[in-house]
Structure 1
Amino acid sequence: MPWKPKGKTKWIIGLVALAVVAFIGFRYWKGKKSALPEGIVSGNGRIEAKLADVAAKEPLRVREILVNEGDLVRPGQVVVRLDTTTLESSLAEANANVAATQEKLAVAQAGIVRQKSEIQLATIEVDRARRLVARGAGSQRDLDVRESELKTTRASLAEAEATLKTSQEEIEVARASAATIQTRINDATLRSPVTGRVLYRLAEPGEVLAPGGPALTILNLEDVYMEIFLPANEASRIRIGAEARLTADFEPDRSVPGYVSFVSPEAQFTPKQVETKSEREKLVFRVKLQVPRELAGRYVERIKTGIRGVGYVKVDPNAAWPSRLQNVITAEAEPH
């Protein structure tokens, strides 16, 4: 005799069937809602920012580091000071050399003034001796002596002028040397090149940095982007400068406007942190979606790199963004 469900069992089966139908309907509605219109493609990625190293130009000992990991820094802000004791001693010596060459120059200038006065006197005496010889009141020997003294004085003037020129050149060299040392001292005060957040503190006071050795690594929060990976048929349709949108997983209904700044000319495997294993086995092209600098600069205190999200790109300029991507963050809006 066939089994027939009792009343209570019928209710349970009916509820289960209703739940299954509702679940399927929800999945269908969800899929339709998340479906992208023709002309728009998307890919998974994460928010990233360019890195900037704060490094020493020459080997010097770290005197103090003024920031910690996570601190927000601005362009020109002093973040590290290196020990310049040796350089300051060299600068004092160079400045003393400048002073010495300036004294030498002053002596040469005074010598020239003196030589010119002596030439004037010797010229007068030669003219007088010539007149005396012409009148028969003076000797030729006395005239010859006066003329010889005039030539000697003129030679001394030429020597003094050469000394003056040498002294001027020595002053320029000494000043250049002092300026070079001062520049090295200035370079020992390391400043942030960008607006960003300290990602790594790579040195501590007392350590000696090698030439070009970084003391800090800073995230440039005005150069923010997302890299997504698209198959060839989609990547080939993207143009540089194409309009884009970026969303974060924790706030998918709010997007950030952007644009395509780079499309890789070579195919590659998708990085393991972006897609599933099956997706990673496919060859794709890397596409970089750049956030406008003025917009990123407006929200530097809120930007967090490494956050997962989705990037959307218009492959058709005439395509319309779906409603969920029209709630965009703008530079004019107040950060909150």
Structure 2
Amino acid sequence: MKKKIIIPLLIVIAILSGWYFYSTAKNNQHTDQVTLFGNVDIREVNLSFNGIEHISSIMVEEGDHVKKGQELAFLHTELLQANSAQAKAQVEAQKQILAALVAGTRPEDISKAKADLESAKAIMSSSEHTAGRITKLAKKNLASTDEAEHSRSVAQADSAKVKALQAALDLAIAGPRKEVIAQARAILNAKQAEYIRAFQNLKDATLSAPSDGIIRNRILEMGDMASPQTPVFTLALTEPVWIRAYLADPLLGQVKPGMEASIYTDSYPEKNYAGWVGYISPTAEFTPKNIETAELRTHLVYQVRIYSCNDNNELRLGMPATVKIDLKQKIADDSGVKKHCKKAL
């Protein structure tokens, strides 16, 4: 019995709905003003931390009004602070290494290298003189052959030491190779990037409001594990708001984006909210059949959004509203309504 009652009832509702859109379109076609009925709609944002850690504190409750940039919740930061401090220290250490390489060898080190070289040259000169003298004596059998060979070996060793010290002095004067400096600079850049990442992770431990709005849902609590995939709050944006209404097909040529509109609600019947047509859907919201007759085409409707500033936050999500649009108005390049509602778009 229930099915027999429900089916005819649904048919009656469908007929009445079709008649409503048809009669509204017919009536609006012959007037200078169109009246639309709809509901207030807003944008919502799911707010989550860009990190994985336990929540340490939550600063707002459901229903609280928040401002852009306001801090809403925090994660535990002990480990994040340690990582940031370590990365910063590594950057400073690498800066000192690079600075030392760029500055080159200290003058004191060069002076010491020169002194060592001069000392080695003096020793070499003495050993060479001794080797020559003993060699002459050995030819006269006044010195042994072993003594002569030993003196020559000492002289050769002293000569090699002089060459090594000369090379060391040349390197000290020339300073580090440019490839070594480039490598040190690349390491510094890598460590700076690590510090930026660690510092950003520390900043991400604070969840802030991206815009003015109202906390609609508080999903997580203190002690819960936060992650980028898990929202902490749902934020309802207070600006802009719009009336989501539906425009019948015959009115598409008369209602255009930019037209100013007046908005009325049952909650504040004495008030008139200024608005403007901001969006008209390019496609029909529903199509009764694939092939439409002239009659059925009047049943096609298109979603339209009438934006409003909602300065006093009186227009709430889902609130029924009536919109009236003067069809004879001229559309300015910059609507007067928009000028007074810069945050809206």
The answer, yes or no, to whether TM exceeds 0.5 is: yes
Corresponding residue of 2:72 = 79
Deviation at 1:225, TM superposition (A): 0.9
Contact 1:245 1:257 in 2 (8 A): yes
Corresponding residue of 1:60 = 53
More divergent stretch after superposition (211-220 vs 188-197): 211-220
1:313 is matched by which residue type in structure 2?
I
Unpaired runs of 5+ residues, structure 2, are: 1-27, 126-131, 133-155, 288-297, 332-336
| TM-score w.r.t. length of structure 2 | 0.64
Deviation at 1:228, TM superposition (A): 0.8
2:233 is matched by which residue type in structure 1?
L
Asked if 1:247 corresponds to 2:264, the answer is yes
- Please give the secondary structure, in 1, of the residue aligned with 2:251: helix
Contact 1:87 1:185 in 2 (8 A): yes
Deviation at 1:149, TM superposition (A): 3.6
> How much is the aligned-residue C-alpha RMSD, in angstroms?
3.9
Instruction: Give the alignment of 1:183-198 within 5 angstroms.
Output: 183-198=200-215
Contact 2:47 2:233 in 1 (8 A): yes
1:59 is matched by which residue type in structure 2?
I
Per-residue Cα deviation, 1:248-270 (whole angstroms, up to 9, x for no partner): 11333421111111101111149
Distance in structure 2 (CA, Å) of the matches to 1:227 and 1:89? 50
Contact 2:113 2:169 in 1 (8 A): no
Instruction: Give the alignment of 1:148-297 within 5 angstroms.
Output: 149-155=165-171, 157-159=174-176, 162-269=179-286, 282-291=299-308, 295-296=309-310
Deviation at 1:65, TM superposition (A): 1.4
Distance in structure 1 (CA, Å) of the matches to 2:183 and 2:106? 17
Contact 1:112 1:160 in 2 (8 A): no
Contact 1:239 1:315 in 2 (8 A): no
Per-residue Cα deviation, 1:300-323 (whole angstroms, up to 9, x for no partner): 4x443322111122333269xxxx
Asked if 1:306 corresponds to 2:322, the answer is no
Deviation at 1:119, TM superposition (A): 9.6
Deviation at 1:214, TM superposition (A): 1.6
- Please give the secondary structure, in 2, of the residue aligned with 1:262: strand
Corresponding residue of 2:33 = 40
Corresponding residue of 2:293 = none
2:67 is matched by which residue type in structure 1?
R
Deviation at 1:145, TM superposition (A): 6.9
Asked if 1:70 corresponds to 2:70, the answer is no
Per-residue Cα deviation, 1:227-262 (whole angstroms, up to 9, x for no partner): 111210113322111111111113334211111111
Deviation at 1:153, TM superposition (A): 2.9
Deviation at 1:70, TM superposition (A): 0.4
Contact 1:64 1:82 in 2 (8 A): yes
Deviation at 1:190, TM superposition (A): 0.7
- Please give the secondary structure, in 2, of the residue aligned with 1:97: helix
- Please give the secondary structure, in 1, of the residue aligned with 2:84: helix
Instruction: Give the alignment of 1:10-29 within 5 angstroms.
Output: none
Aligned residues with identical type, % of pairs: 23
Task: Please tell me whether Structure 1 or Structure 2 has the larger radius of gyration of its CA atoms.
Answer: 2
Per-residue Cα deviation, 1:269-324 (whole angstroms, up to 9, x for no partner): 49xxxxxxxxxx94311000011xxx43x324x443322111122333269xxxxx
Change (3 A) 1:64 1:282: farther
Deviation at 1:116, TM superposition (A): 7.2
| TM-score w.r.t. length of structure 1 | 0.66
Corresponding residue of 2:328 = 316
Distance in structure 2 (CA, Å) of the matches to 1:154 and 1:161? 16
1:46 is matched by which residue type in structure 2?
N
Distance in structure 1 (CA, Å) of the matches to 2:211 and 2:278? 20
- Please give the secondary structure, in 2, of the residue aligned with 1:268: coil
Distance in structure 2 (CA, Å) of the matches to 1:102 and 1:290? 55
Unpaired runs of 5+ residues, structure 1, are: 1-34, 133-138, 271-280, 320-327
Distance in structure 1 (CA, Å) of the matches to 2:29 and 2:324? 9
2:245 is matched by which residue type in structure 1?
I
